[in-house]
């Protein structure tokens, strides 16, 4: 079927590859759309950039939810259930590399948002000059027309599915944050640390999704940053209980690098350093805690006492290990000397017989 210009959308051409069934569904705000997609370059080879069928999982978006690649909403809204169509897009592809990065992270079992890095997605991109994928970096430097081959699988009205955090509007996400925060705190008090981390993590992802739409370091962005830092530190408290000390050090260091005046970050990092016998680092962090908040002197004194005890235990263990190594070495040396003496006796015995 020949190309047809999609009415009302400049720079788009649609070719129906396989007709769908029924009427075009109502694509109102809140509708959940499930579809397969394949993205290709407009070159002679039709180079494939992404293919959801190759990954094995279809894509899901919610109409009106400010999905970064909003042109997909326009494309899907022209389709029937079961339809497969190819869209040539010229002027609507500039943000595709960012969207592709998120989708690839999901396919790799990672969070679509680098929530533990305390800068927005765009700031990270300009700071490191890379999205982490060479082909996407090239496409980011030189935006090009793209082909999108879409297969519409399912359309669900808002009342027909349970809405997860990713499917919420920004307003709904912000309303969900204090609820998730409270649930996480309750689970922490009950000693259900793994479950608490999931609540804190979900709340952080809600915040970070909203924060990416704000300008970095301006007042709205900073308010969201403060909320995210509070939740991240609660998350770290759970990790301490779960003995995930190096992850605590990683997350608290991220916060400290961006916001060097947060007392709790130094305190939790100090506690983690104590558990992995990083004596100098722990003392430095606790010293910083006292500089920022002298009122924590009693708490710091207690942690330093624990540090001293931990270091004494480690020194004793090291001594025992050293003694064990020395004992083993002496035993090995004695065995070696014994074998040498035995061989020498045999040698002299045989030599004497030859002399006789």
* pLDDT tens track for 99-110: 898 888 877 766
* pLDDT reading at 317 higher than 80: no
Strand, helix or coil at 111?
Answer: coil
* pLDDT reading at 321 higher than 90: no
State pTM to two decimals: 0.53
Strand, helix or coil at 83?
Answer: coil
pLDDT band at 338 (very low <50, low <70, confident <90, very high): low
The alpha carbon of 290 is separated from its chain's Cα centroid by a whole number of angstroms, namely 32
Least confident of 172-181, 238-247, 338-347: 338-347
**Structural domain boundaries in the chain:** 4-162, 166-290
Q: Could you say which of 3.40.1180.10, 3.40.1280.10, 3.10.50.40, 3.30.2130.10 is the CATH number of the domain covering 4-162?
A: 3.10.50.40
CB atoms within 10 A of CB 96: 24
CB 131 within 8 A of CB 162: no
Least confident of 6-15, 226-235, 247-256, 285-294: 6-15
Least confident of 54-58, 225-229, 282-286, 343-347: 343-347
| Cβ within 8 Å of residue 293, ≥6 positions away | 263
Q: What percent of the chain has pLDDT over 70?
A: 79
Kind of pairing, strands 84-89 and 59-62?
A: unpaired
* pLDDT reading at 112 higher than 80: no
Nearest one of 257, 272, 267 to 292, comparing CA atoms: 267
- Helices 134-141 and 96-107, axial angle in degrees (round to 10): 170
Question: For position 70, what pLDDT does the model report?
Answer: 84
pLDDT band at 77 (very low <50, low <70, confident <90, very high): very high
Name residue 15's beta-bridge partners: 86
Higher pLDDT, 337 or 58: 58
Question: For position 183, what pLDDT does the model report?
Answer: 94
CB atoms within 10 A of CB 139: 21
CB 39 within 8 A of CB 100: yes
* pLDDT reading at 272 higher than 90: yes
* pLDDT reading at 56 higher than 60: yes
Question: For position 125, what pLDDT does the model report?
Answer: 38
| Cβ within 8 Å of residue 123, ≥6 positions away | 216
CB 306 within 8 A of CB 274: yes
* pLDDT reading at 329 higher than 80: no
As given in the structure block, the two tokens for residue 38 are 């394949």
The class of domain 166-290 in CATH terms is mainly alpha
CATH topology identical between 4-162 and 166-290: no
Beta strands in the chain (DSSP E): 4-5, 12-18, 32-41, 48-51, 59-62, 84-89, 146-156
The mean pLDDT value for 174-200 works out to 93
pLDDT band at 124 (very low <50, low <70, confident <90, very high): very low
* pLDDT tens track for 125-139: 333 457 888 999 899
The mean pLDDT value for 139-163 works out to 88
DSSP assigned state of 1: -
* pLDDT reading at 326 higher than 80: no
Where helices occur in 44-165 by DSSP H, the ranges are 52-55, 71-76, 96-107, 121-128, 134-141
Question: For position 6, what pLDDT does the model report?
Answer: 59
């Amino acid at each position: 079927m020949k190309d047809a210009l999609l009415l009302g959308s400049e720079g788009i051409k649609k070719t129906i590859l396989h007709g769908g069934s029924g009427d075009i569904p109502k694509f109102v705000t809140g509708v959940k759309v499930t579809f397969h997609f394949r993205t290709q370059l407009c070159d002679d080879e039709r180079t494939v950039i992404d293919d959801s069928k190759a990954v094995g999982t279809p894509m899901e978006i919610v109409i009106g939810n400010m999905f970064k690649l909003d042109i997909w909403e326009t494309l899907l809204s022209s389709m029937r259930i079961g339809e497969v169509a190819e869209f040539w897009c010229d002027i609507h592809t500039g943000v595709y590399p960012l969207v592709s990065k998120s989708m690839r992270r999901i396919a790799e079992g990672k969070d679509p948002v680098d929530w533990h890095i305390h800068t927005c997605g765009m700031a990270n991109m300009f700071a490191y000059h890379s999205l982490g994928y060479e082909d996407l970096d090239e496409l980011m430097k030189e935006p090009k027309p793209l082909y999108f081959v879409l297969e519409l699988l399912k359309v669900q009205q808002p009342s027909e599915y349970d809405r997860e955090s990713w499917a919420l509007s920004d307003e709904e996400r912000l309303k969900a944050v204090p609820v998730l925060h409270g649930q996480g705190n309750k689970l922490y008090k009950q000693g259900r640390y793994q479950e608490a981390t999931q609540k804190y993590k979900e709340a952080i992802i809600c915040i970070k999704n909203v924060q990416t739409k704000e300008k970095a370091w301006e007042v709205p962005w900073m308010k969201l940053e403060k909320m995210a830092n509070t939740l991240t530190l609660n998350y770290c408290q759970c990790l301490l209980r779960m003995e995930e000390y190096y992850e605590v050090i990683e997350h608290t260091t991220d916060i400290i690098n961006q916001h060097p005046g947060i007392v709790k970050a130094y305190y939790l990092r100090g506690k983690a350093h104590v558990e992995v016998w990083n004596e100098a680092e722990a003392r430095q962090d606790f010293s910083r805690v006292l500089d920022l908040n002298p009122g924590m002197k009693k708490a710091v004194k207690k942690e330093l006492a624990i540090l001293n005890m931990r270091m004494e235990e480690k020194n004793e263990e090291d001594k025992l290990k050293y003694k064990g190594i020395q004992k083993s070495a002496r035993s090995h040396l004695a065995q070696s000397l014994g074998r040498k003496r035995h061989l020498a006796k045999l040698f002299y015995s045989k030599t004497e017989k030859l002399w006789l």
